Structures are given as structure tokens and as C-alpha cells.
Structure 1
């Protein structure tokens, strides 16, 4: 299978429109060596296939489609390579791009958990709005360990795992998390056997999560923050990383430590959903160098992984 990283930033993108933190101001002024990024999303398709699955529909989806020819195969007057959409959660940066797909000529095939469907029906009624346009054919993502597939992409198998995290701020159960607010997904190519574990929002690594990571050839996981107190230190928020459902990279029990425990068979270890405040965005920073030394990649828009 081929995985195209459409967007690699956290909500707001990089640089964030209203932010003048050292990273955002630095990249605008050319003072730091860093690449702009759109909000996180990936597209997965079989090696020799055209159609594939869009994971998360960010508010930047139209820009991402324009930048990624694989999403527009032009086989007909109106066409798309998106056979279906899988949502990891119901957050604004992962779900509101669905509005931009409203011109689809048929029901939009959408896979999400029941709690996410509730959030997008009540708290942020995306699904209701789309019913006035293309409409949505919604399918429940199983959380019992069972696999599912997306019609039109028969060579790929998907298996979801409930994660520790936070529901969207507009969720009816924001302060009372339930299983399915946030998921990780193992994507398996049935022909090659290649396996990716994808979890852009990850608040804690439990034994089942670590087992899923260790069983994959590649992992693409939460890279939101470097430090737990990153935003309070900069004065942009009082919230710590773990409070809002993100495991930071540095420090005891951080993502770097967990990734170091993976077996050698996990050949690629990648971070995605990177917040604009994270110093790893500066390619000359000590933090970026620490990741390189640890064999950890920082995802960039447009990169392609083959498994």
C-alpha cells in the first residue's frame, strides 16, 4: 500500500494564522528552517490501485486535493479517488473538511464510531448539514477488535482500537470520555502483509495500544507537543498536553521513550499532527536533532510511504 501524508500539522496548521510564537514568526520571516504544513490527514491506497481511503477530512482538504494529483484521477467529468472517509475523532481539524466534499454526486461513504457520529449530529451537526447536499452513508467503526473494509478498496483491511483521549470541546460528553471518542487504526495490506498503525491523537499508551504499535511495520502517531507544559510556557494556553489528550514527546513516559521500546521490525516511526508551537518543526533545533538520533521521522505534507 501507499500512504500519502496530505497534512501533518495539528489544528490551525503551520504557521497558524494568528500566531507569532517563535516557530510561526520565524518561518514567516525566514529566520528558521521549517516547512509550512496543513492540518493532519492521510490517504491510503493499494500499490496498484487508484481509489483509496481518506483518513480525516481537515479544513484544508481542498488545498490538499489540489496538491496531491492521486486524489483526482480524472476518469470522468467529475471524479475522485476517495472511496470512503474514516474519522479518527470528531475534532474540528479532522471533520469539518467534510463540508468541502458536499458536491459529491452520491452519498459520501463515512466510517466513524458511534460517539463521533453523535458529536457530529448534536454538538457540531456536520452530518445534518450534509444531508442537504450529497448526504452521508455512515458506517459504524467496530471497537470489539473486528476488522472492516471500505468497498472499492478490497485489498486493505482496517482494525480500530479505542484510545485514551478527549472528545471535541462541543461534545456532549467532553468531560466524561467514552470508548470511541478517539481511535487508532491498524491498516493492513492483505497482499503484501504491510501494516501501519495510525493514531494522530494519543493521550496514553496502554498495553493494547503498544501491542498494536509493536505489531506494525510502521507507526504514525501523535506528534502534537514536545513538552507537557509547552503551551503554558509560551503563554498561549493554560492547558498541558496530557490534559487535552496528547502524549508529549519529551520527558519520562513520553513518546520518544515508547517508540524506543518498539521491536526492530517496526522499521518506521513517524510523528504527525504537529502543533505550531512544537520546536521539532525547526529543522535546526536540538529537539529535531534528538528525534533524528532516535530514528524518529517528522511527517511533512506530501511525503509518501510504501508498505
Structure 2
């Protein structure tokens, strides 16, 4: 199984178009100790031929262009793709807007939980995925029930939160069962190698920690360094935990909560543009690396 990080940033990317935080300024000034990153996107293959996308980033078009292994094959006709399916972990905009790029007359299978499918199908924008009869093939998945995605990849959804995206109306909230609104994924290849992908992690339970210990590699929510990271920059903005993101630092942050996973390769992804771990010489970056963590970058590839 090969896992490739096509994008490692949270919504907005790094630099964010309207931001003058220290990280965004450093990138615009070509500082050598920070890399630009596109919005969070993962690609997985179990046979080196067929690829599965985990979520659909707003930057998906450029990410597909930049990675030649996911290009169409001219020997297979005018319209084709090695992408067999997209697996959604939530209906958050930075996870689904890229779906609209898949409307170009090629069939696409979309795996998602019931609330995510309900939210997206209710929005007329996503009817553009059906420009041909049966073009979009929606497949419902459920937390804790493994499914065979095909071509050697098995996935198990992990229920993480029942919190719905903020853009959902009060009327729709009242009518939706939010169970499985945000999930993580256990990815398993044909030889049994396992990895976890949790780009939005609100908390770490004992059972989740035990499950993650069965994986050789985990990609974990690294959105914010501290709970009040945004408030320090702009008063009145929400706390990390209120947005469904467990911060990295602190006595109950993700570094402390997962420190027992000593034999597991631990990688932070979905990193906000304000997060100081993006600065390669920062004390925060040294702290996560000293604790045995890596910081994902666009193009990082793992072979299991």
C-alpha cells in the first residue's frame, strides 16, 4: 500500500490568500525555513495502478496535475482516470469542494456516511456530478463497519464526532441524524499493513488509542498548536476544541495523549497556516520532533 500526501494544510492552505500571519509573511518573503502547502488531500493505492482519494480538496485540480501517477492514460481513451473512488470523512467545505472538479463526464464513486450524503445531495451544486446518467455513484458507509473499496484496499470508518458543518441551516440540522458526521479511516492493504487518517480529531479516547496502536503509520489532525492559537492573533475567533480540533500542545493535547504509541510512525497533517510547527526552526517544531512526530508536506509518500 502506498499513501501519498497531495496536500498537508488545513482550509485556506499556506499561505492563505488574505493572511499576514508570521507564516504567510515568511512564505511570501521566500524564507528558507517554511514550505507552502495546499489544502488537505490524501491519495492511496494498494496495487500501484488504481488510486483512491481521501476527501476532495478545493486544490484537487492542481494536486492531480502535480502528481503524474494519477494522470489519465492516453491508451485508455479520451476520458479516463486511475482514481477509482473518493472517500469522504466529513461534509466540511475543505473536504468536499473538490468534488465539483470531478464533473467532467467521468463516472465517480463517492463513499460517505449517511449525514454527509444527505447534506451534499441536498445542495444543487453537486447535481453537476450527474451530467451523464449514473455518473456519480454514491455509496453509504457506516462507522465501525469495514468496506472493501476494491483493488486491494479495505477501509474501516471511525466515528469521531456528530458535529455538523457550520453552513448547515437550523432546519436541516433538525431533520438530520448526525451520527458519523465526522469520521476517520483505518486503511488496510492486501498484505494487512494498516494506516490511520484522522484530519479532524476532537479528542482521544482509550478505545481510539488502542485502535491506533494497531497501525504502523497514523496521520493525525495537526490543525492548531494551542487551543487559543487563533485568539492570540485575532481576538473573538473560536478555540481549537470548539472547532473540533484537539490542539497539539498541552497536558491533554495530541502529543501527550498519544505518547504511548512509541512504535507507530506519527505524522501531523491538516495544519493551519497559523501553526508555528510549520516553521522548521521553531521551538514548537523541535518539540513535536523530539516527541517522535513528523510534520507532513505536499508530496510526502509512505510505502507500507
What is the TM-score normalised by the length of structure 1?
0.92
- CA distance in structure 1 between the aligned counterparts of 2:125 and 2:115, rounded to whole angstroms: 14
| Cα deviation, residue 164, structure 1 | 2.6
1:157 aligned to 2:154? Answer: yes
- Kept after mapping to 1: 8 A contact 2:85/2:109: yes
- CA distance in structure 2 between the aligned counterparts of 1:126 and 1:205, rounded to whole angstroms: 35
Partner of 1:234: 233
Q: Summarize the alignment of residues 107-126 of structure 1 with structure 2, pairs less than 5 Å apart.
A: 108-122=108-122, 124-126=123-125
Aligned length: 297
Determine helix, strand or coil for the equivalent of 2:80. coil
- Kept after mapping to 2: 8 A contact 1:119/1:125: no
Q: Map Cα deviations across residues 252-281 of structure 1 (whole Å, 9 max, x no partner).
A: 2101112212142x2x10011000000011
Q: Map Cα deviations across residues 125-153 of structure 1 (whole Å, 9 max, x no partner).
A: 4433323467311000122x2210223x2
Determine helix, strand or coil for the equivalent of 1:96. helix
| Cα deviation, residue 15, structure 1 | 0.2
Q: CA RMSD in A?
A: 1.8
Gap change, CA 1:133 and 1:240, over 3 Å in 2: farther
- The range that moved more, 284-293 or 67-76, is 67-76
- CA distance in structure 1 between the aligned counterparts of 2:177 and 2:234, rounded to whole angstroms: 27
- Kept after mapping to 2: 8 A contact 1:166/1:182: yes
Partner of 2:82: 81
- CA distance in structure 1 between the aligned counterparts of 2:8 and 2:124, rounded to whole angstroms: 25
Q: Map Cα deviations across residues 57-76 of structure 1 (whole Å, 9 max, x no partner).
A: 11100100111111115142
Determine helix, strand or coil for the equivalent of 1:150. strand
- CA distance in structure 2 between the aligned counterparts of 1:121 and 1:187, rounded to whole angstroms: 26
| Cα deviation, residue 85, structure 1 | 0.4
What is the TM-score normalised by the length of structure 2?
0.92
1:13 aligned to 2:10? Answer: no
Partner of 1:222: 221
Determine helix, strand or coil for the equivalent of 2:248. coil
Structure 1 portions without partners, runs of 5+ = none
| Cα deviation, residue 165, structure 1 | 6.0
- CA distance in structure 1 between the aligned counterparts of 2:119 and 2:177, rounded to whole angstroms: 12
- The range that moved more, 276-285 or 27-36, is 27-36
| Cα deviation, residue 78, structure 1 | 2.4
| Cα deviation, residue 34, structure 1 | 0.7
- CA distance in structure 1 between the aligned counterparts of 2:127 and 2:188, rounded to whole angstroms: 32
